[in-house]
Chains A and B, each alone.
Chain A
Amino acid sequence: MNNTTKRWILDSVVWSVSLLFAFGLLTDNALADSNGLSPTNATWQAECGSCHIAYPPKLLPAPAWRRMMSGLDRHFGTDASVDAATAAEIGAFLESNAGQGRKRGIDSGTLRISDTPWFRRKHDEVAAATWKNPRVKTAANCGACHGGAERGDFDDDAVRIPR
């Protein structure tokens, strides 16, 4: 077998395996969409969910996620860096499921979800005292009011504001 043939065989193997993976991820996401929950990815869940909930991709537009992923070593004041392969996988997942349309598709320049125009408008009825409640502590603490936040469920009807 000459080198070109070997190379061709090896390349085919790499591409087949990669495509199988890509297909697996796509069907996974499609299933998640059809049952109304946010799409998930195991690497995103594990890495982004270590220090806070893994915020669903749709909460920021793709350009914001791209900037976020390129500055993980200075992530809101902490070093959240991951290796290159992990960053590439998470980045691709975030961007392909990012916020779209007139609300969440707009890049307002901020990386802080709670500073985006749609988030502010959506939460403008929340009293100042609620944000200061120690059981809420920070707007990053989605789960304080959205009980299903961990699994990507932000249904308005399920909101319970702690007293």
Chain B
Amino acid sequence: MSVAATALDELQIDALREVANIGAGHAVTSLSALTDRDFRMSVPSFGVVALHEFAAVVGHMEEVAAAVYMPVEGDVSGHVAFLFPFDCACRLCDVILCREPGDTQRLDEMECSVLAETGNILISSFLNAIADMSDLRLPSAPPGIAVDMAGAILASIAAASPSLGDHALTIMTRLADREQPIEGVFVFIPEPESLGTLLRAIGLER
């Protein structure tokens, strides 16, 4: 059953936000364990964003960002991505590679591979949490990585959806480390035909 993102009621939006909240909570726990730092997350913001405004949701479109993206193809299909501003991605590499703060200045093959693997772990935690809760399968394809303009990255992810409507449902969570600012955004875009499946699985049949 395909559900238009614009047709969701408040209860359903709350439920989806809670699903994302639990998923992101697991991802943050993984990241904290991986880096031995104390990452916190915001309450997920939930938006039905018109396509022409879509790429601006992360802030400045031309700001350089690093993103790890994994398409999800199972009972629920969609797109999950982790975006970090460039300087935050460098700081994350410092932490994971046990470098001195400020050592990572470029995101070359080594750093990209570290970010891809980190993203893979976080996104898998996110998806596993949702799968456990809903009893649905959410297998993901291997991660892709990009370092480019934030707007171009988000637009490319949106365009990867074959059934992309004029609006995209996006659930975003910000995470930040308290000691040193490492901030990232978690973006989850379920395919329209998966929204109904997800809502049914969590007991909110339409």
- The yes or no verdict on A and B being binding partners is no
